[in-house]
Amino acid sequence: MQISSTDYGKFQSFYQGLSVKNHIFYMFFTSNLLHYAMESVSLVPAEVNLVIITAGLTGDEIECIHRFFRRPHLNFDTKYHDTCIWEMIRRATEGNFGWLDVDCFVYNPQLFQEMMKISDHTALNTAWSRPYDYYGVDGLFANTYFLYVNADILQKMTEKYKDLTFVPRVFRDVEGKPIYGNYKYLSEGETEFLIEKYPNAINNPKGYDTTHHYQIMLMVEGYEVKRIRELNQLAVYYSKELFHLGGCYRIHEVLLDKGLRRVYFRFNMRYSFYLLQKYIKQLPKQYLEFQKKFAENMERNKLSTDMEEVLDAVMKYSERSGINNSHMGVNTYDGL
């Protein structure tokens, strides 16, 4: 998907009109995800400069955001992928900035301050990182769930490497369709440079996820990616301080398999259904139909839709996994 010049101009105008541009944390989401935003936004301290970007929302959803969030907000009519938003931010934002996934819940507010403490040699601060063996590049790559970017280093890198971008990158001769919804092919020169530095990278059939080609180039230049917490999707994924759900854009329609993936996504499904029910009174009427479809899929997966049973299962999994459950069952917006 290409970013239209009109929409990029709209983003630039919005950004220039912000009263405070320092240390922005961006949150992006699309339609039918407001229940996640209701939870995650409620956990962000008022003094944190949170800016909300959305795409394809209905008028009722936009009104809901303005009623409850009281944060700067821009909606695009075009249903952009998050990688397009990353690219607009990269091109337009002038200072250091952060990113918070809509389904990432930060229970320790001090983490925002830790994120913003970034040294001159540190390109990124991250809470989650992991190895990607198929990249053919040794090292840990920061995940984008909760991330903070050093703008000075970003500028130096993009001045040196003119085609550098945050969007997923793939080799042009990759077989089949790349797994990423929005991507950019590596040029012949970029491919040759990458293979010279990391010969095993040629065996990567999937491409590089959002910001990861940028992170490889940071490695080449010797910049640091700092882990403010040592969370790892393949090892210690959960924490009392924060947790990331994952897969939220389609969890309401997932059919669970019988492997380990079922255990993980079963929790995600229950927690998502719980959040939907938790905020259903504040959400637009369209979410009643969404809730009905979600409940039907829960039943297809042989999961109870009784809220006492759902919450009990969520609480038990949280306790076993070290997830903070002190906010569960509390509706922050009841009094508004």
Q: Are residues 181 and 82 in the same domain?
A: yes
**Residue-level length of the chain:** 336
- What per-residue confidence (pLDDT) applies to 174? 61
Q: Is 335 inside any structural domain?
A: no
Q: Are residues 268 and 225 in the same domain?
A: no
pLDDT of residue 335 exceeding 70, the answer is no
Q: Which of 174, 203, 231 is the last residue of a domain?
A: 231
pLDDT of residue 254 exceeding 50, the answer is yes
Radius of gyration of the chain (CA): 20
How many helices (H) and strands (E) in the chain? 11, 12
Handedness of CA 246, 75, 180, 160 (dihedral sign): negative
Tens of pLDDT, residue by residue over 99-147, are 999 999 999 999 999 999 999 999 999 999 999 988 999 999 999 999 9
Q: How confident is the model at residue 171 (pLDDT cuts 50, 70, 90)?
A: confident
Q: Which of 176, 199, 231 is the last residue of a domain?
A: 231
- What per-residue confidence (pLDDT) applies to 131? 93
The pTM of the full predicted model, rounded to 2 decimals, is: 0.94
Q: For residues 215 and 50, what is the distance between their CA atoms, to the nearest angstrom?
A: 24
Q: Is 179 inside any structural domain?
A: yes
Q: For residues 323 and 319, what is the distance between their CA atoms, to the nearest angstrom?
A: 6
Q: Are residues 289 and 172 in the same domain?
A: no
- What per-residue confidence (pLDDT) applies to 336? 39
Chain-centre distance for alpha carbon 215: 17
Q: What is the percent of the chain where pLDDT is above 70?
A: 94
- What per-residue confidence (pLDDT) applies to 176? 58
Averaged confidence pLDDT in the chain? 92
Tens of pLDDT, residue by residue over 58-93, are 999 999 999 999 999 999 999 999 999 999 999 999
- What per-residue confidence (pLDDT) applies to 260? 53
Q: At what angle do helices 34-42 and 260-278 cross, to 10 degrees?
A: 80
- Non-local (6+) Cβ contacts of 153 within 8 A are 122, 123, 218, 223
Residues forming beta bridges with residue 30, ordered by sequence position? 55
Q: For residues 216 and 212, what is the distance between their CA atoms, to the nearest angstrom?
A: 6
